[in-house]
Amino acid sequence: MGVIQTSDSDTATSDAEFCAEIRDWLAENLSGEFRDLRGTGGPGREHEFFEERLAWDRHLAAAGWTCLGWPVEYGGRGASVRQQVIFHEEYAKADAPARVSHVGEELLGPTLLAFGTEEQKRRFLPGVRSVGELWCQGYSEPGAGSDLAAVSTTARLDGDKWVINGQKIWTSLAHVADWCFVIARTEKGSSRHKGLSYLLVPMNQPGIEVRPIEQLTGTSEFNEVFFDDAVTEAGLVVGEPGDGWRVAMGTLTFERGISTLGQQIRFARELADIEALARRTGAADDPLIADRIDSAWVGLRVLRAHALRTMSEDTHDAGGASVSKLLWGNWHRGLGELAMAVQGAAGLVLGPDDMTAWQRLYLFSRADTIYGGSNEVQRNIIAERVLGLPREARP
């Protein structure tokens, strides 16, 4: 996947040149019509400047800054892991807007490269790379939550179509997505991880209804999605029918990949802003607050060290992705709690127009330990698949 490396010196020079290239490009292009997009979007704020951020994503694509790690034959740049890390960190340092197309680029694209047929790659990867088609993820269900093996949405093969019935929940950006990758039970009478299939389903059809879920923050980037005899082509199953569990686990691994390093830059900015607030208000003089700020700083370094370790070529820890989710989910939830502690009683008062950024952070970060796989599910994965402990009793 990486560039040819002839020596450590050549690699360092190549990486430095790549870093300068992306830094200069961002400085030049985050101006004019895109100037006001700095710092916009992201979890809990996906409603901000959505159309403008979509235009920005397409501007990135036109300049060749999407899908960097993909093979050149599929529209990528064949960038090394080091260069991908550089891109995500420089992008975050520039305070560039949160990406609208991240589900397609960071989840669906790598999944198709790893498990898809050549026909599927040729059909869908160009739309992901150009941001011509947006994607959402159909995993969680009301009766299953983060327990993916307990999904009950069904799909049956009827001639040349899969017919899908069921409900998904907490589906981010389903209201703007063109396609959804859906985990459905395709083998009647199957249970748990057996008999699941990974289907690619068009969202714009009569058999699909999307209902936004209003959150405590007042936004509604999450949705319920209802499938009532929705259809997709028979050939739009990734991997073999019944092999959806393996493919879905691959997607979850990609979800917790290189882009998390950019996420950590944003976390660091939030922490720095909280520390500055604590100094302005005098909250930093409280030893307990000061200790919590120091602990958050240490925790952020742990997040980075773990992310880099799991990306190294000689490390293929089966529980690495689950550990990563546990680490950042709990750290960020704790940061929201720290923000409220620093504000004190003032943090409990709603402003004249809307809640503050810190109140939004606190409320939305409560979900960090739930979405993308809850703490409980991640701990079970680590216990059973990594530590070899007895499986949890299930009905």
pLDDT at residue 156, as a whole number: 94
For the domain 15-99, what is the CATH code?
1.10.540.10
The hierarchical CATH code for the domain 135-242 is: 2.40.110.10
Question: How many Cβ atoms from other residues are within 10 Å of residue 6's Cβ?
Answer: 8
Residue 317 has what pLDDT? Answer: 54
Per-residue pLDDT band at 9 (split at 50, 70, 90): very low
pLDDT at 344 over 80: yes
Full-model pTM: 0.79
CA distance 270 to 265: 9
- Kind and range of the H or E element at 137? strand 135-138
Ranges in the chain annotated CATH 1.20.140.10: 256-387
Catalytic positions, written as ranges: 255
User: CB–CB of 353/362 below 8 Å?
Assistant: no
Domain(s) labelled CATH 2.40.110.10 in the chain stretch across 135-242
Q: What is the CATH number of domain 256-387?
A: 1.20.140.10
Instruction: Tell me which of 219 and 172 has the higher pLDDT.
Output: 172
| pLDDT 10s digits, 120-159 | 999 999 999 999 999 999 988 887 766 677 788 999 999 9
**Which residues in the chain are classed under CATH 1.10.540.10?**
15-99
- Take residue 14 and report the two structure tokens written for it: 């190549």
Check residue 286 and report its DSSP letter.
S
